[in-house]
């Protein structure tokens, strides 16, 4: 299959590209490198330095004879979306809509969309949240992802575009950028590698559903199945507090460092965890990488980066 991966030089996208190529697919990558890095890009992938808003995207689809699109290019910062909702909407709504329209006009067979679990469900009513949980995003970022999901639903109904929406929990692993809107795992790994104390916002009892990027890449392989359509949560169904996460990373680092505490972040969710039962029962997907193993892999990656 000829697959276009947008954002394929980024954190999650680069792992998906590796998985697709290992499975024997031909992969083309579009990435504007605003957050992606060429050093993470598989050399077997064909690369276009291009924004998804570029008018030449349809030409790429035609020239590379693309059969499927995996859309991971996005404005990913929740705080930036709050500061500049228009920029967020331009990238995550207009950019995605243009790509969907190009997919329909190019007779693309499959469209896989990276969405969000935690930001989609907002303050949860029940734990873990399944796909039927009310979508109550509290940020422009979450709103833009929900809007894109609704557009995909429209194009599926109206034009028969085969669509798969994957709602991720908190993804972590090698290649994650520890700066900007980074995950706590990447931030803390870099701190510890540099012999700096990790800083916990608030009391540290806030929980997240941490999932390894390797499990996410496997989910994206399954999503290529023609029968895999609809919306699926991709998480572990397990809550881990930031305090417990920090304790684990301190143990892995073997550093004699203690964590510091700072004031809590405004509007931060207290608990976030999603249910993957639907994906498992439908297509057999389940998380295989334990939190401990994933943390070891991520810490080792950051250690090698600074060696």
Closest of 176, 213, 236 to residue 16, by C-alpha:
213
Q: Which of 141, 168, 276, 299 is catalytic?
A: 141
Closest of 7, 305, 19 to residue 178, by C-alpha:
305
Instruction: Identify the sign of the CA torsion 299, 196, 256, 251.
Output: negative
Strand partners for 200: 261
Our CA angle for 219, 224, 230, nearest 5°, is 75
β-pair type (110-116, 199-201): unpaired
**Dist CA 241 CA 295 (whole Å):** 14
- Note if 151 is an active site residue: no
CB-CB neighbours of 23 under 10 Å:
12
Strand partners for 163: 111
Q: Is residue 289 within 8 Å of residue 212, measured between CB atoms?
A: yes
Which regions of 59-185 does DSSP assign to beta strands (E)? 68-71, 110-116, 163-168, 170-172
In this structure, the dihedral spanned by the alpha carbons of residues 284, 175, 298 and 80, taken in order and rounded to 10 degrees, is: -90
Q: Is residue 130 within 8 Å of residue 170, measured between CB atoms?
A: no
Per-residue DSSP letter, 40? G
Our CA angle for 94, 95, 100, nearest 5°, is 95
Closest of 2, 10, 14, 67 to residue 36, by C-alpha:
10
Active-site amino acid positions: 141
């Amino acid at each position: 299959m000829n697959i276009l991966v947008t954002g394929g030089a980024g954190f999650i996208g680069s792992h998906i590209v590796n998985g697709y190529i290992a499975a024997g697919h031909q992969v083309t990558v579009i990435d504007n490198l605003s957050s992606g890095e060429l050093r993470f890009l598989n050399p077997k992938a064909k690369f276009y330095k291009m924004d998804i808003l570029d008018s030449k995207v349809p030409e790429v689809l035609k020239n590379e004879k693309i059969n499927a699109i995996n859309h991971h290019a996005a404005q990913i910062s929740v705080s930036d979306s709050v500061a500049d909702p228009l920029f967020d909407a331009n990238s995550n709504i207009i950019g995605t809509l243009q790509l969907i329209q190009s997919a329909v006009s190019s007779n693309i067979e499959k469209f896989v969309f990276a969405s969000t679990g935690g930001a989609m469900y907002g303050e949860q009513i029940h734990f873990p949240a399944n796909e039927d949980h009310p979508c109550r995003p509290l940020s422009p970022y979450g709103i833009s992802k929900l809007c894109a999901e609704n557009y995909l639903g429209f194009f599926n109904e109206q034009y028969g575009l085969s669509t798969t929406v994957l709602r991720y929990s908190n993804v972590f692993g090698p290649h994650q950028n520890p700066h900007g809107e980074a995950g706590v795992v990447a931030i803390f790994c870099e701190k510890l590698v540099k012999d700096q104390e990790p800083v916990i916002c608030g009391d540290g009892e806030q929980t997240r559903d941490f999932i390894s990027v390797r499990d996410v890449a496997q989910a994206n392989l399954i999503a290529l199945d023609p029968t895999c359509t609809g919306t699926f949560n991709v998480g572990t169904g397990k809550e881990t507090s930031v305090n417990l996460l920090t304790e684990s990373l301190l143990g892995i680092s073997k550093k004699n460092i203690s964590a510091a505490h700072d004031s809590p972040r405004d509007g931060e969710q207290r608990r976030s965890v999603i249910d993957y039962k639907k994906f498992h029962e439908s297509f057999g997907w389940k998380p295989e990488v334990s939190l401990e193993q994933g943390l070891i892999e991520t810490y080792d990656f950051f250690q090698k980066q600074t060696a």
